[in-house]
Structure 1
Amino acid sequence: MADAEISVVGEGRASSARDDGIQVLRRAAAALDEIATAPGRLRLVDLHSRLGLAKSTARRLLVGLVEVGFAAVDDDGRIVLGDRLLGLASADAAHITSAFRPTLERIAEATGETVDLSVYRGGQMLFIDQIESPHRLRAVSAIGGRFTLHDTANGKATLALFDDADADVATALAPLDQAAADRVRAELREIRTARMAFDRDEHTEGISAAGIAGRAAGGNVVAISVPAPTERFKEHQNHIIAALRSALDSPLWSS
């Protein structure tokens, strides 16, 4: 009987340790998401406020992230992602870029427009590859740039992969007023049916875009978008949509 009691106690401690470990990982992931969303703009006081943690807990979390190279703090106390994490992310991005490059090339050839490849990271879209249009007047985004979700074609295509009640959607729409958030939610429902998202002069005046998104290997959410000056986009919209729909048939998407 004593042995059985010892076993139960041991299992309870092991379960508690696992729960504690999972909580730490969740907090670390949340902290990295916040840092990635506002790189070089957050200090410890911002981190503990955004995470809803005691300052001492946030400090221990940050110290741990810095020790393993997942975060770094400059002389002014501002927090950025660490070299070790950026190296892992770069390797991941390189794999995705290599896999999707032929698809981007086919879309570029079919449309004659710029084609962008981005991944969902930290509540934003991170641009990882691009084929530029040969037109003198063209839409170009910097590789490594981050864009919001609610007003971009790739961002809205990504949001449509989540349910309306998902935290990712709620976070993306949080800066909007109620009316604007409701409009985006209605648009997301349409995107889920059509599997195509649009940005019509929303993110940048004079630039429109169409985009698709899906889940790829490793659970990454990947988006492909075609931006163009609005007048030319309207003129060639059908060709752009057809090229993107063709890309949806690629075996690169896991679901």
Structure 2
Amino acid sequence: MSPAMACVLAMILRELFPARNSFRTLASALCSSMFFSSLFLHIGTSLSSFLRLGFGVPIQTLVINKDLWGKQNGSKYRRRMRKRINKTWASIYNYYKLKERQKKRRQERLSKSDGKKKKPPPKVFKRTESLAMPKKEFLPETKGQKKKKIFSDYKHLEVMAAPVSRPEPKPKRVGVNPAALTCTPSEITMRLAQVPERWLRVPKPLMPGKVKRGALKYKITPKIEALAVPKPRSEKAKTEDDAGPWTISKSALKYKATPRIIELAKPIERD
């Protein structure tokens, strides 16, 4: 509490109770005490917040203020006033008024309706109604007659029929610069122009179809000569196998596969 307010309060108490000294001392004690000043401040702030929320203001006053000053102060003010009105309706002071208001609105709603709840038509009906309408008949398209162009410029036709004359490009001159022919190379240039000896020692690649001389002079051993001789076959086996090129031999049909081969013959399962 400020000093001015304390003085005003002391003067009021003195005027109300001029004959009693006890009230004068009480007024001065109340004004000078920090405890009571903080208490008054707390009561004042709580009262101001109470009034700011709209609990102590009639709803009619709040609604009138919202309608009068809502357009001038903007949407933020209207939103704040609407919030205060809702809080005031939800308070205990307007409990019975709220119940009467809800009852009155319910009766008005029932008096307007027939007593049966009508479902609004779904949006699909509008589309079905538009599709159910007869198809609009349009006028047939009028095909305009195109005028035939009469050709008369025969000179231009001769110009277009003549072959196009394209100039031949000049042949590109490929050769050595004359100044380079008369140039005398230096020692380092001559050394760099020679092929290194390591490239001369590399064996030349064989031509396709050419046999090495070492292979021509090679003498085969008796073992290799025996392996190179084809396997002797009987006349009966020749006639049976030569009957069809894709026939399976009898020994292959009698073969019994091992479990490992059966496992490998199965297809791989992939996800």
TM class by shorter chain equals under 0.3
Q: TM-score, normalised by structure 2?
A: 0.22
Structure number with greater Rg is 2
- Bigger relative contact order, structure 1 or 2, given CA contacts below 8 A and separation 6+? 1
